């Protein structure tokens, strides 16, 4: 059985806050747990708030490639390789007159956090963001940073012993999706703890979430540009 618990009671996060200490003060972690942290509070702790007047400039600075554009909507690939509306630049749940950029290096943020949290328990860390997707409406939460978590499962065989060549569930994204279900957008629950899949927790030198992004030449779904 999997359990997913939202961690309530965290204060509003400000630049320089010690996220690891705050999480440890509000959550009881066990070996094998996976801590899913909304990128928003990682960004806030890392001082990634910028004045809102710079919004378009900020989006442009984060953009590597424009994937699609229609009216005011700009879907771009950002410097992390992530395809997102407005490059992931965020105006919700931030102080009036400001916007929030993604962490500079979410995998490094996850690793720093995991190192600290592992002083308490052998946990993995995922940094999640809310991403739209092609072909389907709405968004789901997905992993943009990871440390000490196996990102994919690679089942060799189906239940009848036949090879499953293509199937490779992205459990990191599924864990972030599960965590979103206990993190209402209108409430202050920016951290969730998933228990019940200790097999997905591993060494801190496992690949980071940057490796979930398809390289351009592997991706059949890229439009030109």
Contact set for a second copy, span 46-75 (CB under 8 A): 67-70, 73, 75
CA atoms within 13 A on the CB side of 57: 5
Indicate whether 85 belongs to the interface with a second copy (CB under 8 A): yes
Q: Which of 173, 40, 29, 42 is nearest to 112 (CA)?
A: 42
Each residue of 160-178: b (16+ CB within 10 Å) or e? eeeeeeeeeebbbbbbbbb
- Which one of the spans 52-60, 106-114, 121-129, 186-194 is the region binding a second copy (CB under 8 A)? 186-194
DSSP state of 65: E
Per-residue contact string for residues 91-110; x = within reach of a second copy by CB under 8 A: xxx-xx--------------
**Minimal CA–CA distance to 175: which of 33, 9, 27?**
33
The two beta strands, 83-85 and 73-78, are antiparallel
Please report, as residue ranges, which positions from 125 to 144 form the binding site for a second copy (by CB under 8 A): 130, 133-142
**Smallest distance, Å, CB 170 to a second copy?**
3
Considering only residues 145-174, where is the footprint of a second copy by CB under 8 A?
Answer: 151-153, 155-160, 162, 164, 166-171, 173-174
28 binds a second copy, rule: CB under 8 A: no
Stretch that binds a second copy, among 2-10, 18-26, 98-106, 119-127 (CB under 8 A): 2-10
Q: Would you say 96 or 119 has its CB closer to a second copy? A: 96
Judged by CB under 8 A, the residue of 11, 47, 51, 196 near a second copy is 196
Q: Whole-angstrom Cα distance, residue 203 to residue 200?
A: 10
């Amino acid at each position: 059985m999997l359990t997913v618990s939202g961690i309530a009671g965290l204060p509003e996060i400000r630049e320089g806050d010690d996220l690891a200490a705050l999480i440890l003060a509000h959550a009881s972690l066990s070996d094998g747990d996976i801590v899913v942290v909304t990128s928003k509070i990682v960004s806030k702790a890392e001082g990634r708030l910028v004045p809102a007047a710079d919004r378009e400039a900020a989006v442009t600075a984060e953009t590597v490639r424009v994937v699609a554009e229609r009216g005011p909507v700009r879907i771009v690939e950002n410097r992390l390789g992530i395809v997102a509306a407005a490059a992931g630049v965020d105006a919700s749940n931030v102080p009036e007159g400001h916007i929030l950029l993604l962490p500079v290096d979410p995998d490094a943020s996850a690793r720093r956090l995991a190192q600290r949290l592992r002083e308490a328990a052998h946990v993995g860390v995922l940094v999640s963001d809310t991403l739209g997707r092609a072909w389907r409406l709405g968004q789901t939460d997905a992993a943009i940073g990871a440390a000490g978590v196996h990102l994919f499962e690679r089942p060799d065989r189906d239940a009848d012993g036949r090879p499953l060549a293509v199937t490779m569930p992205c459990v990191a994204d599924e864990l972030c999706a599960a965590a979103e279900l206990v993190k209402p957008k209108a409430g202050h629950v920016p951290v969730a703890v998933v228990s019940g899949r200790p097999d997905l927790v591993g060494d801190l030198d496992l690949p980071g979430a940057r490796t979930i992004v398809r390289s351009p030449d592997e991706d059949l779904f890229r439009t030109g540009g």
